[in-house]
Amino acid sequence: MRRVIYAMFVVATAGVPLVPGAHAGEPLEQEAAELAREFVGRLKPQLKQAMAEGGPTHAVEVCASEAPRIAESLSAESGWEVRRVSLRQRNASRATPDRWERAVLQQFDQRQLAGEKPADIHFGEFTGESYRYMQAQGVEGVCLVCHGESVAAAIATTLEKYYPDDRATGYHMGQVRGAISVQKPVNQEQR
C-alpha cells in the first residue's frame, strides 16, 4: 500500500519543480522583458529625431553615443546588466556575444527562419548564479539605412570612420539584427 501511495505521489508531482518558489522566475522574466522594451522605447525616438534633424550621418553619431548611455543608465537604475549583442557586430568591443548569448542568437536566427516574427522571439533561463534573458531585434525599414545592403555613401563613410571592422550591413527586412541581452545575479531563494 505504501508503495502505491508513493507511486501516486511521484505521478502527481511529475514535472512540478520540488523547490518551493520554483516558479519565481516568472517575475524576473517580466522584469527582463520590460527592460528590453524600455531600451528600445528610449533609443528609437532619439534615432528618429536625429535622422529627422541631421540626417542619418548625424544619427550614426547619436546611435554610437546614446545606445551605450541608455544601456548604462538602465543598468544603474535596475540592478540588471543591460547590453546589445549581435552575431555580426558593428561595435565588437560592446556587442560581441559570450557563449550563452551566441547560442541564443543562433537559436533566434533559426526561429526567424522558421517563421516567427523577431518581436515575438525571446528566451530566458537561469544559468549558474544568474537569470539571463534576450529579446530579438528585428530589421525594420528604418534600420536598413544603416544596416541594409546598399548603404548611402555618406553613411558608409561615417560608419567606416567609427567602425572600421563593421560587420553589421547587408541585412534584409525581417531578419534578426541582434538582441537586447539582460542578466541579473539571483540567489537560491529567487529561483
Three cell numbers at 63?
Answer: 546611435
The strand ranges marked E within the chain are 81-85, 122-127, 130-138, 176-185
- Distance, in Å, from the CA atom of 90 to the CA atom of 179, rounded to the nearest integer, reads 13
Please name every residue paired with 130 in a beta bridge, in sequence order, or none if there are none.
Answer: 127, 185
Residue 109 is a binding residue for ligand HEC (CB under 6 A): no
What does each C-alpha distance from 139 to 43, 127, 162, 172 come to in angstroms?
A: 15, 28, 21, 7
**Residues numbered 124-153 forming contacts with ligand HEC, rule: CB under 6 A:** 137, 139-140, 142-143, 145-147
d(CA 54, CA 56): 7
The three grid cell numbers given for residue 61, joined into one nine-digit string: 553619431
Is residue 70 within the footprint of ligand HEC (CB under 6 A)? no
Cβ proximity to ligand HEC: between 13 and 73 the closer is: 73
Q: Which is nearer to ligand HEC, 25 or 74 (CB)?
A: 74
97 binds ligand HEC per the rule CB under 6 A: no
In terms of CB distance, is 25 or 158 closer to ligand HEC? 158
Q: Does 181 bind ligand HEC (CB under 6 A)?
A: no
Contact 121, 160 (CB under 8 A): no
Cell of 118: 523577431
Span of 10-18, 22-30, 62-70, 127-135 interacting with ligand HEC by CB under 6 A: 62-70
Q: x/- binding map, residues 12-51, to ligand HEC, per CB under 6 A?
A: -----------------------------------x----
Select 29 or 68, whichever has its Cβ closest to ligand HEC: 68
User: Interface with ligand HEC includes 122 (CB under 6 A)?
Assistant: no
Classify the phi-psi angles of 174: left when phi > 0, otherwise alpha if psi is within -120 to 50, otherwise beta: left
Binding site for ligand HEC (CB under 6 A): 47, 56, 59-60, 63-64, 67-68, 84, 86, 89-91, 94-95, 137, 139-140, 142-143, 145-147, 168, 177-178
